Amino acid sequence: PLPVSVTERTYDTVLDLASPASPDDFKTMPLEILAVGSTGTRNLLDLARQQQARFFLASTSEVYGDPLVHPQPETYWGNVSSTGPRSCYDEAKRFSEALAMAYHRTHGTEVRIARIFNTYGERMRPRDGRVVNTFVLQALRNEPLTLHGDGSQTRSFCHVADEIRGLAAVLDGHLTGPINVGNPAEFTMRELAELVVEITGSTSPIIAVPLPDEREGDPLQRCPDIALLSTTYGWAPEVSLREGLARMVSWFTTKEDLT
């Protein structure tokens, strides 16, 4: 249960933004991730119900798993392993979505759900194992940029400034069900690596390495269908990957110890 110092206050909105989300965390914190998506989310839903507050869940594109439909609309149920190395995060978020909708149907709790696709930008943890910050740090150190496999996997990267605008639109909007929030511009991992090298002016080579065991089950492609968000709330991404990476590189250069 939540401490009295939390429950004795008055809230009109409860935000569930918490969860370890780096691929490195899936190996080291699987039980904690599952607890956050179950017990943690239920505690916050109970708080929202008691306070008659709006509940906002930060969900993820990982609910689609390794998708067989491309790009992924909210109506797609996904292609998800319940036992693979990534399952702790994928299934935790799927369960938290199910919990939120159950509270909505059973108790009338006002629910908003955002499915966040790959997001990057300033103030990321430099060494949390995600591909964008890993590539940027490697390039700034003139170290080889390491592609897992042949680099043909695709992702769609949304700058944090655009992501925040999208999340605010979902939070303040009237729709109850999940809404994709992401940038539909799609890049291969090799294209991302080449762009990072260009922007940083690095001498780093780009090399292919075998996929680590803990990355087994990584989706081959991921791209949001943002028609629902765009048509309902008029949202569209504004920051290109080139511009967003330049901002991120500038911030890392001034804030991060690269030694």
Q: What are the residue numbers of the active site?
A: 89
Q: What's the DSSP call for residue 227? A: H
Can you tell me the distance from the alpha carbon of 18 to that of 60, in angstroms, rounded to the nearest whole number?
12
Pair 193, 145: CB distance under 8 Å: yes
DSSP element (H, E) containing 14: strand 13-16
Whole-number Cα distances in Å, 198 to 63, 71, 82, 135, 251: 33, 28, 39, 12, 17
Contacts of 144 (CB under 8 A, 6+ apart): 138, 204, 205, 206, 207
Contacts of 125 (CB under 8 A, 6+ apart): 22, 133
Can you tell me the distance from the alpha carbon of 73 to that of 259, in angstroms, rounded to the nearest whole number?
42
Q: What are phi and psi of 87, to 5 degrees?
A: -65, -30
State the residue for tokens 């799927």: 94
Can you tell me the distance from the alpha carbon of 206 to that of 193, in angstroms, rounded to the nearest whole number?
7
